[in-house]
């Protein structure tokens, strides 16, 4: 938060979206494998972020091309995509270097790799390739969510002053110092949890879908038989903004998660922003923990306003599996000197 305090002191508007990406990747990488990208410290984007975005682009195009045969036959000849594939290979190479560095490290603080490395190639453990893939998923998936979720929350808080005021009261009346805000204490703040849950609904980090392939025996989905080898999915943005599922779907109302009877008809069963079942997102618990602490510390330390009150969060933004946000300029004031 020290870097943002300097920005607040300068009195200039800042791109809160960029800061969220920096802090999210720094924290998640440190938790996952003891590596600090120092993005916040340097005020610069780490190469992992840029490579990750290009990887998401390649994944999206290659996935969708499977529906457009024979278009997929020419993918290898499209310069933009060949560059994305090259960056993907850089991503994997850097990941391997990161993991090898962690394996050789001595007397490190416990992280998510500690347990996995203790059982590497052991019965019930992971092999090296599986560990590499798991590390990539945890860092990338958790970081993207940990960046996107506070962006959506801060934007909608600025657009809804009464909600913002209630959250400020909960956080600032509960903590006497920033050091008290940690993974354990934030779980005791019901309005904070409701705000983040509503932000997940109204601005899901993966607005599209998590496709799954039906097995050899077929299955029944929503009362309808689906034949084998069929891709099935649930489009999060459409499902979470549908009046068939939600009362006032486009309104940011944390109270819908706190037992308000006005929202008793909400179809909460469709709310699965991290997918569902044995293939649900590996990084979701990390993302929840990180975003709760990040948002609570933002609220404790700063008052924020949109530099342009008419700014749209989604107009002009792109979706490449996850959001590729445009700059979100905010004026921030330090309130806990």
Helix crossing, 284-301 with 16-33: angle to 10°?
A: 130
Report how many domains make up the chain.
1
- In angstroms, rounded to a whole number, what is the distance separating the alpha carbons of residues 41 and 334? 19
Beta strands in the chain (DSSP E): 14-15, 212-213, 219-221, 224-226, 231-232, 302-306, 318-320, 322-324, 329-334
Question: Angle at the Cα of 145 (from 132 to 263), degrees rounded to 5?
Answer: 140
Task: Please provide the distance, in angstroms rounded to a whole number, between the alpha carbons at the two ends of the chain.
Answer: 12
Contact 148, 321 (CB under 8 A): no
Strand partners, 231: 213
Nearest to 234 by CA among 279, 190, 300: 279
Could you count the other beta carbons within 10 Å of the beta carbon of residue 155?
A: 25
What pLDDT, on a 0 to 100 scale, did the predictor assign at position 38?
A: 79
For the domain that residue 324 is a member of, what is the CATH number? 1.10.630.10
Q: Say if residue 270 carries a ligand binding annotation.
A: no
Please state, in angstroms and rounded to a whole number, the distance separating the CA atoms of residues 76 and 197. Answer: 40
Q: How far apart are CA 287 and CA 156, in angstroms?
A: 19
Look at residue 266 in the predicted model and tell me its pLDDT: 98
Q: How many residues does the chain have?
A: 337
Residue 175: per-residue pLDDT:
96
Domain range spanning residue 78?
2-334
d(C-alpha 200, C-alpha 274), whole Å: 10
Distance CA 131, CA 225 (A): 36
Strands, sheet with 14-15, edge to edge from the N-terminal-most edge strand: 14-15, 329-334, 302-306
Both tokens of residue 215? Answer: 């097995």
Separation CA 171–CA 181 (nearest Å): 9
Per run of 10 residues, the mean pLDDT along the chain (length 337 residues) is: 78 88 84 79 70 64 67 67 71 80 80 80 81 77 82 97 98 95 95 98 89 90 92 92 97 98 96 83 81 94 95 86 86 83
The whole-angstrom separation of Cα 206 and Cα 279 is 15
- Whole-number pLDDT of residue 109: 80
DSSP 217-265: T-EEETTEEE-TT-EE---HHHHHT-TTT-SSTTS--GGGGTT-GGGTT
């Amino acid at each position: 938060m020290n870097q943002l305090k300097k920005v607040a002191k300068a009195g200039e508007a800042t791109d809160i979206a960029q800061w969220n990406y920096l802090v999210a990747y720094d924290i998640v990488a440190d938790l996952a494998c003891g590596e600090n990208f120092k993005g916040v410290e340097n005020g610069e984007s780490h190469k992992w972020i840029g490579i990750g975005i290009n990887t998401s682009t390649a994944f999206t195009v290659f996935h969708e091309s499977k529906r457009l045969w024979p278009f997929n036959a020419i993918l290898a000849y499209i310069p933009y995509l060949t560059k994305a594939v090259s960056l993907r290979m850089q991503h994997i190479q850097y990941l391997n270097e990161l993991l090898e560095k962690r394996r050789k490290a001595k007397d490190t603080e416990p992280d998510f790799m500690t347990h996995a490395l203790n059982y590497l190639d052991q019965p019930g453990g992971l092999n090296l390739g599986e560990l590499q893939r798991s590390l990539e998923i945890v860092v990338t998936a958790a970081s993207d969510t940990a960046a996107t979720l506070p962006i959506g929350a801060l934007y909608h808080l600025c657009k809804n002053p009464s909600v913002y005021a209630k959250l400020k009261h909960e956080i600032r009346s509960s903590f006497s110092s920033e050091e008290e805000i940690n993974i354990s204490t934030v779980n005791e703040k019901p309005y904070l949890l409701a705000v983040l849950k509503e932000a997940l609904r109204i601005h899901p980090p993966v607005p599209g879908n998590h496709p799954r392939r039906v097995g050899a025996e077929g299955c029944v989905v929503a009362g309808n038989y689906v034949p084998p080898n069929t891709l099935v999915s649930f489009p999060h943005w459409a499902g979470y903004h549908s009046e068939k599922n939600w009362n006032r779907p486009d309104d940011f109302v944390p109270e819908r998660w706190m037992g308000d009877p006005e929202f008793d008809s909400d179809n909460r069963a469709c709310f699965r922003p991290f997918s569902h079942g044995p293939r649900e997102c590996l990084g979701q618990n990390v993302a929840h923990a990180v975003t709760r602490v990040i948002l609570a510390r933002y609220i404790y330390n700063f008052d924020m306003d949109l530099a342009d009150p008419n700014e749209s969060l989604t107009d002009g933004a792109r979706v490449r599996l996850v959001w590729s946000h445009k700059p979100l300029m905010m004026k921030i004031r330090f309130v806990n000197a």
